[in-house]
Amino acid sequence: MNTAMIRPLSALRTTILALLAALALGACTGKPAPVATATASMAAPTVTVTRIVQRPMAQSLIASGLLVPREEATVSAEVGGYLVEKVLVEEGAMVVSGQELARLDPGLLRAKIDQAKASVAQAVALAEQARGEADRVKTFDSKGVMSIEQVAARQYQAATAEAAVAVTRAQLNDLLTQERRLVIRAPVGGLVLERMVRPGDIASPGQPMFRIARDKLIELDAEVPENALASVTLGEKAAVSLPSGDTVEGTVRLISPRIDPLTKLGLVRISLAPHPQLRAGGYARATFSRTGSMVAVVAEKAIQWEASGPRLITIDEGDRVHSVPVKTGSRDAGFVTLEQGPPVGTLVALGTGVGLLDGDRVNPVEPGQLVAVDEADKTQ
């Protein structure tokens, strides 16, 4: 036989004989053999561990909704039946209060105005003539040339003519007012959200032409569940995420006094800081962050996700493992809230725990100890 093969066999035979001798010695003395104990210790797998601790967890409330103007003005014509001659602004334009938005064709109205002016001139002439005749016959009243009835009739004609002047002037003023209203102006300054009129349209009172967001202020109409609405307070800050990925700071301005009977949601109006990506009708999400009370938490890596639900692998004082079902809650900064589970201070395994069965013995090592051992090995 080859000498190289004999040596390993001899070494193996020597090891077996030593183990048998140790077992025999343990049987005689009634004490466990030192060699067996060392072997069992070496066989225990090393497991990185952590503990269940208490810490405050940030509790976030997320509410989504639509972006809406804080105050919206709808602009329409005050006179009807006239063609839209010109539209002067487009959607997205910034306007100031009183700025011209559109003009209506004044051709038909100006013809009426000219006719009314002629009627006024005619009425004035007739009134002057009637007043002159009334003044002239008034001197005959005391002389008996004309009867009292005739004098009174002339005075009545003069008064009627003067009243006709007032009527025609009022008609003219009405037409002039309509002429001024042919120019559609912005009632407030802000952002033009929508233009609903085109040149050639027939204007109609009450028919919207433009929608303007006053002062370009856009807010979030966030829908909050009924059971969480009481936790929202006026002036509370929120981080609002836009579809573009940008985040805008918001402040709670209004809390609705009613709950939708179908959805069981309440509206919270959140005012937003100006941002170029704020568009009315868009979707956004608000996150309210609060620091909660002290709760039992564990590192998220310690949670074992199985078909039956989340579990923890706990390690008892004898370094034996046990799989324990838990109920988890909110997450924050790498920690998970334990709503049900082992008490604070319990040692638990980090990682997947693959291959470990209930009752297996392990060699628990905390992350700090593991680093210290690695450093010691490097120095040797």
Are 230 and 279 in the same domain? yes
Mean pLDDT for 134-151 is 68
Name the average pLDDT for the chain. 82
Collapsing DSSP to helix, strand or coil, 318 comes out as coil
pLDDT at position 241, please? 94
CATH number at residue 193: 2.40.50.100
Of 309, 308, 368, the residue nearest 338 (C-alpha): 309
Q: Of 78-82, 145-149, 376-380, which gets the smallest average pLDDT? A: 376-380
The verdict on residue 142 lying in a domain is: yes
Domain count, the chain: 4
Sequence-distant (6+) residues with CB within 8 A of 353 are: 47, 304, 313, 321, 323
Q: What is the DSSP letter of 30?
A: S
Sequence-distant (6+) residues with CB within 8 A of 59 are: 289, 290, 291, 292, 330
Per the CB < 8 A criterion, the answer to whether 377 and 61 are in contact is no
The verdict on residue 121 lying in a domain is: yes
Are 237 and 257 in the same domain? yes
Are 328 and 279 in the same domain? no
Count CB neighbours of 139 within 10 A.
11
The verdict on residue 20 lying in a domain is: no
Which two structure tokens, joined as six digits, stand for 16?
């077996």
Of 70, 60, 59, 64, the residue nearest 240 (C-alpha): 64
Residue ranges of alpha helices (H) inside the chain are 3-29, 34-43, 107-138, 148-180, 226-229, 367-379
**Domain range for 67:** 61-71+215-292
Residue 90 to residues 41, 97, 104, 197, 269: CA-CA distances in angstroms?
81, 16, 17, 10, 28
The verdict on residue 118 lying in a domain is: yes
Domain boundary, last residue among 214, 235, 256: 214
CATH number at residue 112: 1.10.287
Q: Is the pLDDT of residue 370 over 60?
A: no
Are 191 and 206 in the same domain? yes
Are 206 and 152 in the same domain? no
Task: Give the pLDDT band of residue 35 (cuts 50, 70, 90).
Answer: very low
Residues in the chain: 380
Task: Give the distance, in angstroms, between the CA of residue 267 and the centroid of all CA atoms in the same chain.
Answer: 11
Task: Give the pLDDT band of residue 337 (cuts 50, 70, 90).
Answer: confident
Per the CB < 8 A criterion, the answer to whether 335 and 344 are in contact is no
Q: Is the pLDDT of residue 101 over 90?
A: yes
Q: Is the pLDDT of residue 36 over 50?
A: no
Are 96 and 200 in the same domain? yes
Per the rule left: phi > 0, alpha: psi between -120 and 50, beta: everything else, 56 is beta
pLDDT at position 59, please? 72
Domain boundary, last residue among 236, 268, 292: 292
Sequence-distant (6+) residues with CB within 8 A of 185 are: 98, 99, 100, 101
Per the CB < 8 A criterion, the answer to whether 243 and 284 are in contact is yes
pLDDT at position 368, please? 62
Task: Give the pLDDT band of residue 63 (cuts 50, 70, 90).
Answer: very high
Are 247 and 205 in the same domain? no
pLDDT at position 170, please? 94
Are 375 and 297 in the same domain? yes
The verdict on residue 4 lying in a domain is: no
Residue 307 CA to residue 300 CA, distance in Å, equals 18
The verdict on residue 31 lying in a domain is: no
- The torsion angle over the Cα atoms of residues 297, 303, 309 and 314, rounded to 10 degrees, is -80
The verdict on residue 32 lying in a domain is: no
Are 270 and 299 in the same domain? no
CATH number at residue 221: 2.40.30.170
For the segment 229-255, what is each residue's pLDDT rounded down to a tens digit?
Answer: 988 999 999 999 998 889 999 999 999
Domain boundary, last residue among 252, 272, 292: 292
For the segment 152-191, what is each residue's pLDDT rounded down to a tens digit?
Answer: 788 888 888 889 999 999 999 999 999 999 999 999 999 9
The verdict on residue 13 lying in a domain is: no
